[in-house]
Amino acid sequence: MRFDYNECIKKGLLRKTPSSKDKAERSIERAKRWLQESEKNIGAGAHNSAVLSSYLAMFHSARAILFKDGYREKSHACVARYLEELYVKKKLLDEKWVELLDHYREIRHSDQYNLSFFTTEEEAKKALESAKEFIEIMKHLI
């Protein structure tokens, strides 16, 4: 099921909280640690783990934007819907970054629930590079 921004708000999956620059900065730091995990995983040949780590790096950096703006998520998908509504529609963020966040979130879901899911070294490296760029963009938006 794909939520839209208004459904996320209505269902309490995005909630207003006090804005926190500190939480935003801590979320970026967490994203950087997940990037390091992804690099280690690629080096160890753990490609599925590398993709998941890259996704978590993207998620935590996107979450930093919510903290900065005074929101809290209760759904990974709603983080992307938030970025679409408040950043893509205002031309502050290119839509391709939200699409990538959704793509890797879907891969994460497949990895957790699909018994035959496996990824390649190429996909793991691509995810890492995407995550690195994504974090820099999120840092710029903060």
pLDDT in tens, the chain (142 residues): 577 999 999 999 999 999 999 999 999 999 999 999 999 999 999 999 999 999 999 999 999 999 999 999 999 999 999 999 999 999 999 999 999 999 999 888 776 666 667 788 999 999 999 999 999 999 999 9
Q: Domain 5-141 belongs to what topology?
A: Four Helix Bundle (Hemerythrin (Met), subunit A) (1.20.120)
Q: Which residue has the tokens 């780590």?
A: 53
- Each domain of the chain, given as residue ranges in start order, spans 5-141
Nearest Cα to Cα of residue 106 among 89, 125, 121, 127: 127
Look at residue 106 in the predicted model and tell me its pLDDT.
87
**Which residue type sits at 6?**
N
CB 64 within 8 A of CB 9: no
Look at residue 3 in the predicted model and tell me its pLDDT.
77
Three-state DSSP class for residue 90: coil
Q: What tokens does 18 get?
A: 């006090």
**Residues forming beta bridges with residue 71, ordered by sequence position:** 16
Nearest Cα to Cα of residue 59 among 21, 102, 18, 90: 102
